[in-house]
A = this chain, B = another copy of it.
C-alpha cells in the first residue's frame, strides 16, 4: 500500500516545517495554480474534444490547429490513437468496457494536461454521448469552468467518410470482417449541443481551422491575433 500511503503522507507532509538537521527550512508543497500558469502563458488551458466518424477528419484537423497554435506560441498537444492506443492504453481491447475505459483515461490525461496549462486536443471517435459527458463533468469537477471543455463535432456524412476509406476499413466493416464499426454496425451518437459543429465533409481544412481559432479568440481562451 505504500504508494497510497505515500500520497497521504505527502499531503500531510506539506504541514511539516522542518526537515532533518535543517529545522528552520520549510518543506511544503508549493503547487503552482492554474491561474499563475495561464497568466505566464498568456492563454487559458482547455480541452478541445474532437468527435466524429472514422474519416471525418478529427486527427487531421486537431493536428492542423495544433500547428497554428504552436506558431502563435500557444502551448498545446494532441492526444490521438497514435500516442494513446499504442502507449498507455495498449492494455485495452475493444470490448464495450474497454472502450469506455479508453475514453475515461483520455479524459483524465487531458485534464492533467489542462492542469499543466496546455490546450489539449483529443481526436477519438468517442461515439457515445455519456462518455463525452463524463469527461465534461470531470473537467468541471476539478475546478474547471464549462468553457474549459470544448466539444468539436467533426460533422461529415457517412458517405464522405466512407469515400475516404484509403485503408479499406469501411469496406471490411461492410463485408463483416470488422465487427462493431461505428457508423456501420455500431451507433454514433451525434453531439446535441457541441460548442462547435464543423462541416468537415465539405469545408476546406483552412476554413475549419479558422473556425476553431476564431471561436477560441472569441471566448478569450487565446489572445486575438
Contacts and interface: CB of A to CB of B under 8 A. Distances in A.
Interface of A: 1-16, 19-22, 25-32, 36-37, 40, 54-55, 57-61, 63-64, 66-67, 70, 73, 75, 77-83, 85-88, 91, 94, 99, 101-102, 105, 108-109, 111-113, 115-118, 123-125, 127, 156, 160, 164-167, 169, 173, 178-183, 186, 200-206
A24 to B, nearest CB: 9
A5 B169 contact: yes
A120 to B, nearest CB: 9
Most chain B CB neighbours (cut-off 10 Å) among A27, A61, A78, A101:
A27
Given A32-B70, A127-B2, A182-B2, A88 B109 contact: yes
A151 B96 CA distance: 38
A103 to B, nearest CB: 8
B115 A83 contact: yes
In this complex, the member of A10, A20, A87, A111 whose beta carbon has the largest number of chain B beta carbons within 10 angstroms is A10
A73 B192 CA distance: 40
B60 A28 contact: yes
B88 A7 contact: no
Contacts of A173: 5
A12 B60 CA distance: 11
Contact of A94 (B3, B19, B111): B3
